[in-house]
Amino acid sequence: APSLGAAPAQLRLQRHHLRAVRQHRPPAPPRRPEPRGSGPAVPSPPARGRSPSKARGPRRAAPHSRRDSTASLRTTGEEGDAGTVDKHSVEVTNCFSVPHNESEDEVAVDMEFAKNMYELHKKVSPSEIILGWYATGHDITEHSVLIHEYYSREAHNPIHLTVDTSLQNSRMSIKAYVSAPMGVPGKTMGVMFTPLTVKYVYYDTERIGVDLIMKTCFSPNRVIGLSSDLQQVGSASARIQDTLTMVLQYAEDVLSGKVAADNTVGRFLMDLINQVPKISPEDFETMLNSNINDLLMVTYLANLTQSQIALNEKLLSL
Amino acid sequence: MASRKEGSGSAGAASALQGQRQSRRCGGLGRQASADRRAVQYQMEMMRSLRHVNIDHLHVGWYQSTYYGSFVTRALLDSQFSYQHAIEESVVLIYDPIKTAQGSLSLKAYRLTPKLMEVCKEKDFSPEALKKANIAYENMFEEVPIVIKNSYLINVMLWELEKKSAVADRHELLSLASSNHLGKSLQLLMDRVDEMSQDIVKYNTYLRNVSKQQQQKHQYQQRRQQENIQRQSRGEPPLPEEDINKLFKPPQPPPRMESLLIAGQINTYCQNIKEFNAQNLGKLFMAQALQDYNN
C-alpha cells in the first residue's frame, strides 16, 4: 500500500500525543460560509472569462477507497479553490479524490498521486489552490487529525469537509471544520475541530442545470431526457401555476381566519398583483401584434433559407 | 485532442469526457491552443490517475461550448473524425451557455454519420467524390438523444442541497425580453448566408470555366482536323497530334466541404431560431391571456 513519504514510525509516535476532540459549539466568529457546486451527473464546464473569485467547477462524487479492517468507510480527497480567500469566507469550487489506506494504527495517503492530480488541475485552471480536504463518513476520527496536519502544510489553515454517505440519521449531512489547537500549554496538546457554517451558492446557469438534474428524483428509474421548446415553456408555467395555487390557498386561509394575517406577506402579495402591467387594451393589442408579426416574419425567413439551401443541394447534385 | 478557442471574442473550452458510453466525468483541457502533445500527455495522466481511484476511465468523447449554436466548423469536423476513428462510439457534446442562461439546459450530442466518416477517410473533398457519396448537409451529423441518469446517492445529495439552499426560482424561461438573442442569431445567420453566396459564385465560375474549356478544346480539335484535311489535299504531311490536355489545363475544382459545412451551419441556425420563435409565440399568447383577464 502506498504510504506517506515521511517515516511512518514518526507518525505513529505523534498519534499518541494528539487527540482529536469534537466540540459541538454553535458556530462562533469568525464565520466562514462556504459555497458548494452542483451535482456531477451532467458535467458543466467551468465558466471562463469571469473574475477568478467567482469561477466554479463541477464537484465529483468520491468513489469508494481501498481500506482494510476496522475503520469506517472513508474516502479522502483534496479540495481546490479558484481565486482569493476572503476574510470571512472561502469558496470551494472543485475537488478530486486521493486513494488512502486506513487501519487501526496508521493511515497512509498517496501523496505522489495527490501532487500529480494537483499539477494536472493546475494546468487547466491555474488559479486553483488547495483549500483543504474532504472525507466521506460520519465522524472525525483520529486519523483525521493526522491527515489534517499533513494538509496544513499544503494550505494555510485548511478546511476539513465531511460528507456522510453512510446516511446516518437518514440525512447526508455535509459539515465543515477548521482545526484549532487546545489544551494546557506545556502538557499534551490536542486539536479541536471547530464547525463552520456551510452555504451553497450557485450561479444562474449552474442552477438551471441543477434544476434539470433534480427532476430525476421524481422519476421511477432515475432517468430523464431533455425536453424541447414548447414543452419547457409548458413545464415552467405549470410550476408557476402550482406556486400560485399555494398562494391562493394561503389567502383563503387568512380570510377564513385559519391562519393569522402577516403584514410582510401581505405586502409581497400586493407587489405580486401589481406586477402585471396595466396597459390600455389598444396599446397592448398593437404591442402584441407587432411582436407576433416580427416572430412570424423571422420564422418565415428561416424556413425560406432552409428551403433555399435544400434547393442548392439539389442543383449541385444534378 | 487539442482544445479550441471559439466564437467572437470569448473563448469556449473543449475538453474530454470519460465514462462508459454514458459520460460520467469531464475534465477541462483549458485554453492550450497549441501542441497536441501536451494535451495528449495531460489526457493520459488524467486517465491513469482516475483509474487509480476507480473512476470510470474510458474515453467517450469530448465537449465544446458554443455561442448561439455556431459549432459546425472544419475544426470540429476534424476533431470529431479523429475521435470517432479511434473510438467507435465517441460523441461531441455541444453546450450553449447563452441559451442555458435563458432558462433551459441546452446540451446536444452529435456524431458523424457513417457516410461522412467514409468521405473523411478518403480525404477527397472534390465535387465528384461528394456527389458519389450522396451526402447532403442533413446527413452530416446525427444527433444522439441525451438521457440523464443519477445514482441513488446523488439523488440524496440533491435533496440535501434543495433543503439547504433555498434559492428562489427565477423563471428566466418565461421572460418576454428576447429580441437581443434573436437579433444576434439573425446576424450570425446573415453572415453565413453571405459566405454561402460567395461560395456559390465561386462554384458557378468554376463550372463556367470548365464548359468554356470544353468548347475551346472542341474548336481546337476541329481546326486541327480541317488543317490536316487541307494539308492532305495539298500533299503535305499532316501535323503531329499534340496532347490536348497539355494545352488546356483543366481548372481546379473548388473544395466542396466548406459549402457543405456552411449549409449545415445555416440549417442549425434556422432550427434554433424556429424553436426559439415557437417558445416566444407561446409566451406572447400567455401574456395576452393575462391581459384579457385583467380587462
pLDDT at A79: 55
Looking at residues A138-146, what average pLDDT do you find?
Answer: 76
Residue B60: pLDDT over 80: no
Residue A45: pLDDT over 50: no
More confident: A151 or B128? A151
Please report, as a single letter, which amino acid is at residue A290.
Answer: S
Residue B33: pLDDT over 50: no
Query: A with B: how many residue pairs have Cβ under 8 Å apart?
Result: 242
> Smallest Cβ distance to B52: which of A99, A237, A278?
A99
CA distance readout (Å), B25 to A58, A60, B38, B88, B212: 9, 8, 20, 19, 58
Q: What percent of chain B has a predicted confidence (pLDDT) above 70? A: 75
Contact B93, B109 (CB under 8 A): yes
Per-chain mean pLDDT for chain B: 74
Residue A35: pLDDT over 80: no
Which has the closest alpha carbon to A206: A33, A45, A96? A45
Inter-chain contact B277–A47, Cβ cutoff 8 Å? no
Contact B77, B58 (CB under 8 A): no
**How far, in whole angstroms, is CA A81 from its chain's centroid?**
13
DSSP for A131-150?
EEEEEESSS--HHHHHHHHH
Residue A60: pLDDT over 80: no
Q: What percent of chain B has a predicted confidence (pLDDT) above 90? A: 0
Choose the weakest-confidence range: A237-246, B10-19, B53-62, B131-140: B10-19
More confident: B17 or B254? B254
More confident: A1 or A230? A230
The three cell numbers of residue A12 are 505513529
Q: What is the pLDDT of residues A170-225, one digit of tens each?
A: 777 778 888 887 777 777 777 788 888 877 777 777 777 777 777 777 776 666 66
pLDDT at A17: 36
> β-strands B14-18, A128-136: how paired?
unpaired
Mutation for A interface: B44, B105, B261, most A CBs within 10 A: B105
Looking at residues A86-103, what average pLDDT do you find?
Answer: 72
Looking at residues A94-118, what average pLDDT do you find?
Answer: 75
Confirm or reject contact between B157 and chain A (CB < 8 A): yes
Inter-chain contact B158–A316, Cβ cutoff 8 Å? no
**Nearest residue on chain A to B190, judged by CA atoms?**
A305
Choose the weakest-confidence range: A59-73, A227-241, B94-108: A59-73
Coil vs helix vs strand at A129:
strand
Residues of chain B neighbouring A64 (CB-CB closer than 8 A): 54
Residue A148: pLDDT over 60: yes
Instruction: Give dist(CA B125, CA B133) in Å, integer.
Output: 10
Q: What is the pLDDT of residues B164-179, one digit of tens each?
A: 766 666 677 777 777 7
Inter-chain contact A225–B42, Cβ cutoff 8 Å? no
Instruction: Give dist(CA A37, CA A210) in Å, integer.
Output: 10
Looking at residues A228-234, what average pLDDT do you find?
Answer: 76
Choose the weakest-confidence range: A101-105, B74-78, B153-157: A101-105
Residues of chain B neighbouring A294 (CB-CB closer than 8 A): 179
pLDDT at A9: 34
Confirm or reject contact between B211 and chain A (CB < 8 A): no
At residue B58 the predicted structure's pLDDT band, cuts being 50, 70 and 90, is: low
Of A46-50, A89-93, A234-238, B146-150, give the range with the top mean pLDDT. Answer: A234-238
At residue B86 the predicted structure's pLDDT band, cuts being 50, 70 and 90, is: confident
pLDDT at A214: 76
Inter-chain contact B170–A116, Cβ cutoff 8 Å? no
Confirm or reject contact between B293 and chain A (CB < 8 A): no
Residues of chain B neighbouring A98 (CB-CB closer than 8 A): 53
Residue B98: pLDDT over 50: yes
Residue B62: pLDDT over 90: no
Mutation for A interface: B102, B150, B276, most A CBs within 10 A: B150
Residues of chain B neighbouring A284 (CB-CB closer than 8 A): 288, 291
Choose the weakest-confidence range: A13-17, B26-30, B35-39, B100-104: A13-17
Q: Would you say the C-alpha torsion A84, A89, A92, A97 has a positive or negative sign?
A: positive
Which has the closest alpha carbon to A208: B99, B78, B120, B219? B99
Choose the weakest-confidence range: A32-46, B74-88, B116-130: A32-46
Inter-chain contact B52–A61, Cβ cutoff 8 Å? no
Confirm or reject contact between B171 and chain A (CB < 8 A): yes
Residue A57: pLDDT over 60: no
A148 to chain B, closest Cα gap in Å:
20
pTM: 0.68
pLDDT at A245: 92
B277 to chain A, closest Cα gap in Å:
6
Q: Would you say the C-alpha torsion B182, B184, B189, B190 has a positive or negative sign?
A: positive
Q: What is the pLDDT of residues B63-72, one digit of tens each?
A: 888 887 788 8
At residue A55 the predicted structure's pLDDT band, cuts being 50, 70 and 90, is: very low
